[in-house]
DNA sequence: AATATCATGTAACATGTTACATGATTGG
DNA sequence: CCAATCATGTAACATGTTACATGATATT
């Protein structure tokens, strides 16, 4: 039936900001919610079709100039508020980076360092993007939605800064690990405590 | 074919630490990797079956005392290193909390505050759990895997602290928003610009 | 005219969860 | 003995991505 409540929520939510084509919906979600949400065409169009059948969205400007946009209806707004109200089910986490680091002993210290450095670089980029996004927000773009959008942008910034700080700490750990390995001769790297570790 | 490389990675990785039953595998993943990974029985058992067929894991102690455990083979270790080596594909983000806050205007300020407070509380709990997990790590439990596990624990701690800091900021924003609404009479809180959002 | 982008959709596949069935072992 | 937990598995379903097909509109 309901091809995912989650997708419906995102679609109705986006349309609550302004009417859009399905295509623009995907673009908007990617560019604006990209840091914490994603939808593919394969979900958006079926979702729109279903919502239209349920009279929660309707097409506007049918064969007018360009193509028709989808607009949220009253029933749709009600449904959206309903969907937003039920508790956010925390999605099962699947962090491929952490999985690799967790089994870092198999992967090797150097590869781990690369991964951490890449993550750090991504976080830096994200941070500058978000900071400029916040600047834009001071402008106009989203009207009354702005304060709420700001809150999500702030979350992204905090997250990015946390990633950067973590990365630096992780790099230290990895270096310490390597040094310990060198000192310890051929013996495998011991944990991070200097302590008294005579080899063999 | 391969019922998810990701699941295979997690299963082989866990077995690289020590041999386990499928049941223990699931428990171990939930308790140890829980903060950034999850697998269900419906994935683990088929994955184990397939890995056994490919001779990457084997059963140990068949009808001995308790039940048989699965152990990683040489081929399995090689495969694991292979899997860990290819780049972590960043999973498409789906943060239900942020989605709700983003559309917070529809949800209402009070409900948003509740959500933020809940998130903050979860982060607090997580932080204390991770801190004690780190203390345990100073002990022995995971041997040579410890330093790598530590890195992932640190990531969790940084993340949790970031969530807490963000939550406090977000709560301030929400309060400010409410005050602005009160001052502004019955009119809904204005962002900054009147804007022209005529539809219909 | 040719190319790029906008736009809508679908089918095949990949992935993942839930609920159920089944039985062994263990502790009270 | 009975209940709880350990243990293995499967089938039905839910969800989600990718690749493709199709055509309109806009740009050069």
Please report the DSSP string for A45-92 in residue order. HHHHHHHHHTTSEEEESTTSSS--EEEE-HHHHHHHHHHHHSPP-PPP
The pLDDT assigned to B194 comes to 39
Average pLDDT over residues A185-194: 49
CB atoms within 10 A of CB B192: 14
For chain B, list residues with pLDDT below 50: 1, 190-200
**Chain B 11-50 residues whose Cβ is under 7 Å from strand C:** 38-43
The pLDDT assigned to B142 comes to 72
Dihedral over alpha carbons A18, A22, A23, A27 (to 10 degrees): 50
Nearest-Cα distance to chain A for B193, in Å, is: 6
Chain B residues within 8 A of A145 when measuring between CB atoms: 102-105, 191
Task: Let me know how many helices (H) and strands (E) chain A has, helices first.
Answer: 8, 2
DSSP code for B190? P
Contact state of A155 with B166 under an 8 Å Cβ cutoff: yes
Contact state of B144 with A92 under an 8 Å Cβ cutoff: no
Beta strand pairing call for B57-60 and A69-72: unpaired
- % of chain B beyond a pLDDT of 90: 76
Query: How far apart, in Å, are the Cα atoms of A46 and each of A3, A57, A63, A148?
Result: 8, 13, 21, 28
Query: Which nucleotide's C1' is closest to A67 (Cα)?
Result: C7
Alpha-carbon gap, residue A59 to A71, rounded angstroms: 6
The pLDDT assigned to A197 comes to 36
B59 SS3 class: strand
pLDDT at A139 over 90: no
How far: A70 CA to C5 C1' (Å)?
20
B64 SS3 class: coil
Q: Tokens for A153?
A: 């942008």
Contact state of A152 with B101 under an 8 Å Cβ cutoff: yes
Partner residue facing A162 (CB), from B152, B158, B195: B158
Alpha-carbon gap, residue B36 to A172, rounded angstroms: 22
pLDDT in tens, A32-74: 999 999 999 999 999 999 999 999 999 987 655 566 899 999 9
Residue A23 CB in 7 A reach of strand C: yes
Chain B residues within 8 A of A43 when measuring between CB atoms: none
pLDDT in tens, B118-159: 999 999 999 999 999 999 888 766 789 999 999 999 999 999
pLDDT at A173 over 60: yes
For tokens 């948003």, the residue is: B112
CB atoms within 10 A of CB A43: 18
- Taking CB atoms and an 8 Å cut-off, how many pairs form between chains A and B? 234
Residue B3 CB in 7 A reach of strand C: yes
Q: Tokens for A193?
A: 């405590």
Q: Give how far the C-alpha of residue A13 lies from the chain's centroid of Cα atoms, to the nearest Å.
A: 17
Partner residue facing A148 (CB), from B105, B146, B158: B105
Contact state of A99 with B36 under an 8 Å Cβ cutoff: yes
Give the Cα-Cα-Cα angle A7, A13, A15 (nearest 5 degrees): 105
Q: Tokens for B192?
A: 């900054």
Q: Give how far the C-alpha of residue A58 lies from the chain's centroid of Cα atoms, to the nearest Å.
A: 29
The pLDDT assigned to B187 comes to 57
How far: B6 CA to C5 C1' (Å)?
35
pLDDT in tens, A89-138: 888 999 999 999 999 999 999 999 999 999 999 999 999 999 999 998 88
The pLDDT assigned to A146 comes to 94
The pLDDT assigned to A67 comes to 64
CB burial readout A77-90, b (16+ within 10 A) else e: eebbbebbeeebee
The pLDDT assigned to A116 comes to 98
Residue B63 CB in 7 A reach of strand D: no
Partner residue facing A159 (CB), from B105, B112, B162: B162
Partner residue facing A71 (CB), from B94, B165, B199: B199
Alpha-carbon gap, residue A31 to A34, rounded angstroms: 5
B165 SS3 class: helix
Q: Tokens for B79?
A: 């495969």
Query: How far apart, in Å, are the Cα atoms of B97 and each of A10, B100, B148?
Result: 12, 5, 30
Alpha-carbon gap, residue B4 to B43, rounded angstroms: 9
Residue B94 CB in 7 A reach of strand D: yes
Give this prediction's pTM.
0.89
Contact state of A96 with B16 under an 8 Å Cβ cutoff: no
Q: Using CB atoms within 10 Å of the CB of residue B181, give its burial: 0 to 12 exposed, 13 to 18 middle, 19+ buried.
A: middle
């Amino acid at each position: 039936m309901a091809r995912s409540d989650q997708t419906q929520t995102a679609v109705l939510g986006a349309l609550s900001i302004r009417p859009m084509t399905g295509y623009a919906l995907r673009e908007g979600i990617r560019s604006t919610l990209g840091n914490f949400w994603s939808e593919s065409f394969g979900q958006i169009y079926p979702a729109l079709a279903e919502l239209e059948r349920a009279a929660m969205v309707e097409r506007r400007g049918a064969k007018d100039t360009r193509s028709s946009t989808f607009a949220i209806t009253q029933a749709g707004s009600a449904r959206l508020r309903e969907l937003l109200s039920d508790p956010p089910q925390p999605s099962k986490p699947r962090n491929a980076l952490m999985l690799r680091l967790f089994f870092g002993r198999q992967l090797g210290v150097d590869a781990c360092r690369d991964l951490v450095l890449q993550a750090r670089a991504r976080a830096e980029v994200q941070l500058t993007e978000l900071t400029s996004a916040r600047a834009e927000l001071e402008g106009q773009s989203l009207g009354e939605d702005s304060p709420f959008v700001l809150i999500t942008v702030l979350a992204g910034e905090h997250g990015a800064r946390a990633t950067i700080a973590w990365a630096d700490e992780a790099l230290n750990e990895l270096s310490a690990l390597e040094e310990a390995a060198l000192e310890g001769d051929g013996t495998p790297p011991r944990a991070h405590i200097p302590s008294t570790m005579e080899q063999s």
